[in-house]
Amino acid sequence: MSSTPLRIGAVLFERFELLDVFGPLEMFGVLPDRFELSLIGPQMGPVASSQGPRAHADYAYADAPPVDIVLVPGGIGRVQAIVDRAFLDWLAGYCATSQYVTSVCTGSALLAAASLLDGYRATSNKRAFDWVREHGPRVEWVPEARWVVDRNRWTSSGVAAGIDMALALTAHLFDTDLAQRVADNTEYEWHVDPHWDPFAALHGLV
């Protein structure tokens, strides 16, 4: 294994969803020897979340260094971000150089709008699933899944599902025992089955 940590860049936009970002980053951050985390925003400095608190972006989009793993969250701000052509073009270019492209919740709609999921299987927040599908007509949307893996694209269901996906990605990159230790150390009950999804039925998708 390389001694250099894998670089993860979480993409922020105004009114992003807090747990979409910081749930997965908490899991990755337990392993600082394996992962190096950064936040990327419209500009360096504070970016407001959907819930109000601001996160400090380490880099502006224009100045962000390349990373190994891109993480794209959802949030109310997706409604503005998804019609921002400059943002989508930047996102497409930025993800093109990464090894893994990941999303949580409606972040998959942003990936789809940037043509990053064309020809891939993917999932998203079940409550917003119809809206997400509208923005990815060339995506094979999976209505019942906690998370979906298709080649180097990892997409999760709503909000807390990103934590399960982050642990699964850790297991994929390293080993399952390590991922389970992260879950145990954070006192998190990891849903290890990507097909576990009671929320699809709750929202009438199956």
Q: Which residues are catalytic?
A: 105
Rounded CA gap, 111 and 95, in Å? Answer: 9
Which residues have a Cβ under 8 Å from the Cβ of 104 and sit 6 or more positions away? 17, 20, 21, 23, 24, 71, 72, 73, 74, 156, 159, 161, 162, 165
> In this structure, what token pair is assigned to residue 131?
């809206």
> In this structure, what token pair is assigned to residue 182?
């992260």
Rounded CA gap, 102 and 38, in Å? Answer: 15
> In this structure, what token pair is assigned to residue 25?
């980053």
Closest CA to 39 of 31, 16, 50, 52: 16
In this structure, which amino acid lies at residue 5? P
Query: What single DSSP character describes residue 65?
Result: P
Say if residue 127 is exposed, middle or buried (CB neighbours under 10 Å; 0-12, 13-18, 19+).
Answer: middle
In this structure, which amino acid lies at residue 43? Q
Rounded CA gap, 151 and 128, in Å? Answer: 24
